[in-house]
Amino acid sequence: MSRRIARVRRVLQSGIHYRGFPEELAHLGPHQPMPAAAWVVTQPSTTHGGFALVRFAEDGVFAGDTWSETEREALRVASLEFDLGRWIDVPDGEVDPIAYAKRTTDGGA
C-alpha cells in the first residue's frame, strides 16, 4: 500500500467537512463540523478503488475524508483545501503515519 502524509500549515477552505446530516437536513439530526485538520494522508481506497484523502486533527482524531479516482486528483484536492508541508512516503509497515512523520522530520512534514 502506498501512503503519503503532509502537515497542514494553513487551512485554505474551512467549514467544508461535517459529520451527520447536510446543513439543509440538520433538522433530522446532528450537523457538526469535523475537527480542524493538522495532517492529511493519501492512501489507496481498499473498498472502492481509487484513493482516499484522509484528514486528521493534531491529536490524531479523524477529521474527514474524501474519495478521488486517482492519487493525482487526491493531491490536487488537498492543495485546494490546505497549504501543506512536503509530502512524505509512509513505509508499508508503519501503522501510524502521524507518529512516523513526527519521528522522521522536525516535528512534522
Look at residue 94 and tell me if it is in a domain: yes
pTM recorded for the entire structure = 0.83
Look at residue 109 and tell me if it is in a domain: no
Q: Which of 41, 40, 39, 18 is nearest to 30 (CA)?
A: 18
User: What pLDDT, in 10s, does the model give residues 55-108?
Assistant: 999 999 999 999 999 999 999 999 999 999 999 999 999 999 999 998 887 765
When divided into structural domains, the chain yields a total of 1
Q: Residue 36: is its pLDDT beyond 70? A: yes
Look at residue 67 and tell me if it is in a domain: yes
Band of residue 30 on the pLDDT scale cut at 50, 70, 90: confident
**Range 16-22 contact pairs with CB under 8 angstroms and sequence separation of 24 or more:** 16/81, 17/55, 17/63, 17/64, 19/64
Q: Which range marks the domain in which residue 42 is found?
A: 3-104
Look at residue 12 and tell me if it is in a domain: yes
Output phi, psi for 20, to 5 deg.
Answer: 95, -150
